[in-house]
């Protein structure tokens, strides 16, 4: 079995040395111990820590059964959710999918997403697309009260009931929510939907390995057992990796590197970075502290953000996700005229060019004062993604404790909601 690896040697600078990173390792170990003992801030939200190893055969079988029903009986399945109730599934599905899956014939129902924005045209276009088809709905909200998914669900539920009848709609709607609380739980009970529970002690951004992520991923046709197995492997064997990452990024932060850029060289990893941004941004950005998590897609963004990264303010470091093996081989052909001047790389794989772009960029950025952490991912499959997910979750919990914040709350996200509710005239809210 292949495992992810971490290399922090290109992260060392005159201020951040192997010794200074090593000096933080005991703090990382103490943070891991605090998570384990359940004695830190937000300790009622650490259910994700031993979640992978506790997922049962019955749970997986039930999720696979629901996924099969939706895949086989629907043309489309719309997964409704936002933030932690959306990004994990989206990240895994994009990372595992054919780059042009949306334009190729599908073997089961096509999975679509909604409730992750309030775009009026988005909802219009989506309803126009699924109208006249048999579609299923997976509605996901831990609180059961989030505005964006609630609007999308009200619209799609109405459409489905009008077109297919209430009974068919109810049989093809699955709610994933809190065990007892919230409007979605009440609605699911009233309508008789099948439901899955988001455990009380698992916050949204740590919930991808619960039904929140597993059901949409299974509906998209991917192997949730291998995903969970990868996470279990990291839960059991990942201590050194997570400690190295947490200690290195916190040492860099203390040295003035306030922004972490998650870099990928494979377009399928774009949404993994979106998931990672939520995980780290919501967990660490509080009490006026925390590394700002940003992301770039290379080599694409080298042609837009490359200048800033090479030459702008020296407050950034990069964490590079490097995929070792592509699934397919594409070789650059020889051209007799060579008008494009590419014959010097004829006969070589596109992946080799990408690898040299990565190496060349690392050398240039390190030279330009941008320290690099490198995480190698053997291949983009379920097992490796499961490892990566758990690795980032554990290192995030540890980093939050090392920073001295509660990594498991998100008080700051309420401020805009109060204003929006007041502006919309929701009873009980004022500006």
Residues numbered 85 to 104 that lie near ligand PA5 (CB under 6 A) are: 85
Query: Applying CB under 6 A, what is the total number of residues that bind ligand PA5?
Result: 14
The residue (of 199 and 371) whose beta carbon lies closer to ligand PA5 is 199
Shortest distance in whole angstroms from residue 81 CB to ligand PA5? 6
Taking the CA atoms of the chain, what radius of gyration do you get in angstroms?
A: 23
State yes or no: residue 282 binds ligand PA5 (CB under 6 A): yes
Comparing CA positions, the residue from 100, 120, 98, 101 lying closest to residue 109 is: 101
The residue (of 40 and 213) whose beta carbon lies closer to ligand PA5 is 213
Residues numbered 148 to 187 that lie near ligand PA5 (CB under 6 A) are: 149
Residue 399 has which token pair?
């980093």
CA atoms lying within 13 Å on the CB side of residue 62 = 12
State yes or no: residue 205 binds ligand PA5 (CB under 6 A): yes
Residue 394 has which token pair?
């554990």
Interacting residue with ligand PA5 among 42, 47, 52, 83 (CB under 6 A): 83
Task: Name the phi and psi angles at 194, rounded to 5.
Answer: -65, 145
Compute the distance between CA of residue 260 and CA of residue 293 in angstroms, rounded to an integer: 5
The residue (of 90 and 142) whose beta carbon lies closer to ligand PA5 is 142
The residue (of 143 and 164) whose beta carbon lies closer to ligand PA5 is 143
Nearest residue to ligand PA5 by CB is 204
State yes or no: residue 238 binds ligand PA5 (CB under 6 A): no
Neighbouring C-beta atoms of residue 425, cutoff 10 Å: 7
Compute the distance between CA of residue 407 and CA of residue 43 in angstroms, rounded to an integer: 10
Compute the distance between CA of residue 192 and CA of residue 148 in angstroms, rounded to an integer: 23
Q: Which of 5, 258, 417, 418 does the annotation list as catalytic?
A: 417
Cα 357 to Cα 226, 262, 347, 352: the distances in Å are 31, 16, 17, 9
The residue (of 62 and 151) whose beta carbon lies closer to ligand PA5 is 151
Q: Is 391 exposed, middle or buried (0-12, 13-18, 19+ CB in 10 A)?
A: buried
**Does residue 318 sit in helix, strand or coil?**
strand
Stretch that binds ligand PA5, among 199-207, 291-299, 339-347, 386-394 (CB under 6 A): 199-207
Compute the distance between CA of residue 6 and CA of residue 413 in angstroms, rounded to an integer: 32
Q: Is 417 a catalytic residue?
A: yes
Shortest distance in whole angstroms from residue 282 CB to ligand PA5? 5
Q: Which of 19, 303, 328, 336 does the annotation list as catalytic?
A: 303
Compute the distance between CA of residue 385 and CA of residue 379 in angstroms, rounded to an integer: 9
Shortest distance in whole angstroms from residue 187 CB to ligand PA5? 13
For CA atoms 406, 407, 409, 414, give the dihedral sign: positive
Q: x-or-dash pattern for ligand PA5, window 107-146, by CB under 6 A?
A: ----------------------------------xxx--x
State yes or no: residue 351 binds ligand PA5 (CB under 6 A): no
State yes or no: residue 210 binds ligand PA5 (CB under 6 A): no
Residues that bind ligand PA5 (CB under 6 A): 82-85, 141-143, 146, 149, 203-205, 282, 410
Positions annotated as catalytic residues are: 282, 303, 417
């Amino acid at each position: 079995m292949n495992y992810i690896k971490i290399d922090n040697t290109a992260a060392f600078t005159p201020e951040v040395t192997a010794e200074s990173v090593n000096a933080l390792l005991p703090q990382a170990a103490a943070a891991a111990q605090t998570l384990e003992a359940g004695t830190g801030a937000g300790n009622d939200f650490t259910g994700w820590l031993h979640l992978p190893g506790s997922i049962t055969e019955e749970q997986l079988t039930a999720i696979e059964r629901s996924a099969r029903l939706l895949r086989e009986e629907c043309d489309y399945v719309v997964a409704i959710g936002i933030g932690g109730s959306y990004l994990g599934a989206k990240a895994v599905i994009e990372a595992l999918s054919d780059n042009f899956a949306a334009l190729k014939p599908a073997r089961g129902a096509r999975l679509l997403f909604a409730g992750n924005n309030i775009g009026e045209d988005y909802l219009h276009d989506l309803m126009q697309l699924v109208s006249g088809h048999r579609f299923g709905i997976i509605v996901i909200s831990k609180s059961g009260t989030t505005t964006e998914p609630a609007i999308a669900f009200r619209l799609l539920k109405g459409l489905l009931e009008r077109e297919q009848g209430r009974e068919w709609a109810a049989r093809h709607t699955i709610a994933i929510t809190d065990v007892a609380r919230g409007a979605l739980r009440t609605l699911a009970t009233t309508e008789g939907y099948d439901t899955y529970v988001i455990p009380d002690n698992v916050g949204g951004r740590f919930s991808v390995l619960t039904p929140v992520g597993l059901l949409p991923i299974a509906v998209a046709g991917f192997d949730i057992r291998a995903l969970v197995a990868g996470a279990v492997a990291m839960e059991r064997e990942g201590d050194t990796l997570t400690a190295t990452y947490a200690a290195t990024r916190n040492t860099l932060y203390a040295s003035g590197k306030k922004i972490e850029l998650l870099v990928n060289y494979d377009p399928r990893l774009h949404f993994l970075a979106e998931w990672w941004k939520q995980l780290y941004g919501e967990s660490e950005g509080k009490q006026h502290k925390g590394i700002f998590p940003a992301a770039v897609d290379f080599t694409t963004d080298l042609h837009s953000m490359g200048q800033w990264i090479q030459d702008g303010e020296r407050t950034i470091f990069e964490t590079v996700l490097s995929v070792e093996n592509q699934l397919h081989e594409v070789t650059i052909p020889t051209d007799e005229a060579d008008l494009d001047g590419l014959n010097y790389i004829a006969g070589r794989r596109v992946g080799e060019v990408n690898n040299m772009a990565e190496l060349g960029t690392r050398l240039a950025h390190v030279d330009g004062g941008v320290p690099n952490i490198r995480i190698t991912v053997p291949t983009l499959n379920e097992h490796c993604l499961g490892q990566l997910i758990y690795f980032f979750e554990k290192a995030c919990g540890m980093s939050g404790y090392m920073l001295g914040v509660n990594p498991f709350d998100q008080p700051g996200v309420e401020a805009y909601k109060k204003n929006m509710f007041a502006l919309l005239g929701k009873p009980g809210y004022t500006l």
